[in-house]
Chain A
Amino acid sequence: AQSVTQLDSQVPVFEEAPVELRCNYSSSVSVYLFWYVQYPNQGLQLLLKYLSGSTLVKGINGFEAEFNKSQTSFHLRKPSVHISDTAEYFCAVRLQGAQKLVFGQGTRLTINP
């Protein structure tokens, strides 16, 4: 069965600093990969997804992620964060041919002024 590990439960950074949120997955078959953001008291919003093709995926709000098959990773990055990026970020995986998303435990990103 596939699983998703988000290595950091909390990441504090200063405003305008770069950030990387780490995500590793385990699967013996090909996968689709997703990052979602959850702002306080809101539902989940899709940031970006990898389905196929280029391993560098660009999403909304200046975020990007790189699929690394050999390291089974899909880390999320942003070169310069804003206060408004404070939120919970979830990595998710879906096996090709399967239907359900499996989520990581989430990473709480806190931006300090």
Chain B
Amino acid sequence: GAGVSQSPSNKVTEKGKDVELRCDPISGHTALYWYRQRLGQGLEFLIYFQGNSAPDKSGLPSDRFSAERTGESVSTLTIQRTQQEDSAVYLCASSSDRGKGYTFGSGTRLTVV
């Protein structure tokens, strides 16, 4: 597609439920990143995928968070047993040239009630 697509754009979930967020990167982009943006704060790195290499999971805040990506296609970020502090906008970005240019999606706004 023309840009990075994220779905859903908004998600309201009850505390304790699992949620799955989807990112569809720009075709041909080998690198994919997930960031979290809490209200009024900057972007917090979560995880990075590069081709078939092992992902960099160093930013995942707890074992309730996981992400998958098959090859150079869609990625899903899963949050298990959601907590209120998980409420944030989750942004996905992709890149074709080893990090010299990133294109961000519009994000998924997650609200845990």
Once bound together, how far apart are the Cα atoms of A102 and B46, in whole Å? 11
Once bound together, how far apart are the Cα atoms of A49 and B101, in whole Å? 8
Interface digits, B43-73 against A, CB 8 Å rule (1 contact, 0 not)? 1110010100000100100000000000000
Q: Tell which of B44, B91, B100 touches A51, judged by Cβ atoms closer than 8 Å.
A: B100
Interface contact B48-A90, CB-CB below 8 Å: no
Interface contact B42-A104, CB-CB below 8 Å: yes
Does chain A have a CB within 8 A of B79?
Answer: no
Interface contact A43-B105, CB-CB below 8 Å: yes
Q: Which of A59-67, A75-83, A93-101 contacts B (4 or more CB under 8 A)?
A: A93-101
Q: Which residues of A contact B102 (CB under 8 A)?
A: 34, 46, 101
Interface contact B42-A99, CB-CB below 8 Å: no
Q: Tell which of B44, B98, B104, B106 touches A99, judged by Cβ atoms closer than 8 Å.
A: B98
Q: Which residues of A contact B93 (CB under 8 A)?
A: 44
Interface contact A100-B45, CB-CB below 8 Å: yes
What number of residue pairs across chains A and B have CB atoms under 8 A from each other?
55
| CB closest chain-A residue, reference B35 | A103
Q: Which residues of B contact A51 (CB under 8 A)?
A: 100
Query: Which residues of A in the span 24-83 have a Cβ within 8 Å of any Cβ on B?
Result: 32, 34, 36, 42-46, 49, 51
| CB closest chain-A residue, reference B31 | A99
Q: A44-B91, A46-B102, A94-B99 are in contact. Are A100 and B33 (CB under 8 A)?
A: yes
Q: How far is the CB of A95 from chain B (nearest CB, A)?
A: 9
Once bound together, how far apart are the Cα atoms of A105 and B41, in whole Å? 6
Q: A99-B56, A101-B33, A101-B99 are in contact. Are A43 and B104 (CB under 8 A)?
A: yes
Does chain A have a CB within 8 A of B25?
Answer: no
Q: Which residues of A contact B31 (CB under 8 A)?
A: 99
